[in-house]
Amino acid sequence: MTQRQLAQRREQAGRVVAELARLYPHSTCSLHHRNPLQLLIATILSAQCTDERVNQVTPALFKRYPTAQALAEAEPAELERLIQSTGFYRNKAKSILGCCQAIVERHGGEVPRKLEELVHLPGVGRKTANVVLGTAFGIPGMVVDTHVSRLSQRLGLAKAGPPEKIEQQLMAVVPPEEWVALGHRLIDHGRKVCQARKPRCQECTLEPFCPRLGVKDAPKSAKLRQP
């Protein structure tokens, strides 16, 4: 990317950040939690599952297993039963058990505060690690889920690629102090307006400066317009 292209993306990012802040001033993580461990486990459960469903499951789960030590010692069958409705429950139970065992053995039962330590926990990737860092600890991290990936490309902030590449592109054009809030706001906007199959462009206040890259049935001029 040339310096001119980088400057253009930063200018576009500034417009997006400002408008989303106006639209969603109170955006926050929709997974219910009381501490970093609960957020970590809820985020693991949220893979291929709605946050609403996870929030229905976690109260009983955290009541039965309130600490990393308790989860590390959980019977797999009972853990699977409690989380079954979130889908892929066997793999998720295996990840939760391994993750909590590692937290107990390596970190004294406390969720670590460093990205490189979090991603070495079983079942924890960069997205989950950044959710925990940003929401639980207030440490800047750029979460890239399906909504963030889709919107960042449509809005001309990043080009298609794996989540880690999109994360790097966003971090290059958005100030660190905006990373956490922008992630929450892009997710909210992706759920409410800029949906995957039928984005509601006619209702979107970002439309005047959105190139709508990759949006099906977008006018030809909009597809070609670059920020």
Kindly tell me if the per-residue pLDDT of 223 is higher than 80: no
Specify the pLDDT at position 217. Answer: 62
Domains identified in the chain, total number: 2
DSSP conformational letter for 213: T
Alpha helices in the chain (DSSP H): 3-23, 36-45, 51-64, 68-72, 76-83, 89-107, 115-118, 126-131, 146-154, 163-173, 179-192, 220-224
pLDDT tens-place string over residues 111-149 = 999 999 999 999 999 999 999 999 999 999 999 999 999
Residue tagged active-site, from 127, 188, 198, 220? 127
Range of the domain at 201: 3-27+143-224
Q: Which amino acid is at 98?
A: G
The pTM score is 0.90
Active-site residue identified among 92, 145, 192, 217: 145
41 plus 119 within the same structural domain: yes
128 shares a domain with 210: no
CB atoms within 10 A of CB 172: 14
Q: Is 145 a catalytic residue?
A: yes
Same domain, 51 and 124: yes
Identify the pLDDT of residue 216.
74
Q: What is the CATH number of the domain that holds 12?
A: 1.10.1670.10
- The domain boundary, picked from 83, 109, 136, lies at 136
110 and 160, same domain (yes or no): no
Instruction: Based on the residue annotation, tell me whether 127 is a catalytic residue of this protein.
Output: yes
Judgement on whether residues 87 and 164 belong to the same structural domain of the protein:
no
User: Domain boundary at 115, 136, 157, which?
Assistant: 136
- Residue 208: pLDDT band (50, 70, 90) is very high
Q: What is the CATH number of the domain that holds 41?
A: 1.10.340.30
Domain edge (last residue) among 82, 107, 136: 136
- CB 61 within 8 Å of CB 158: no
Q: Are residues 188 and 118 in the same domain?
A: no
* Shared domain check, 202 and 153: yes
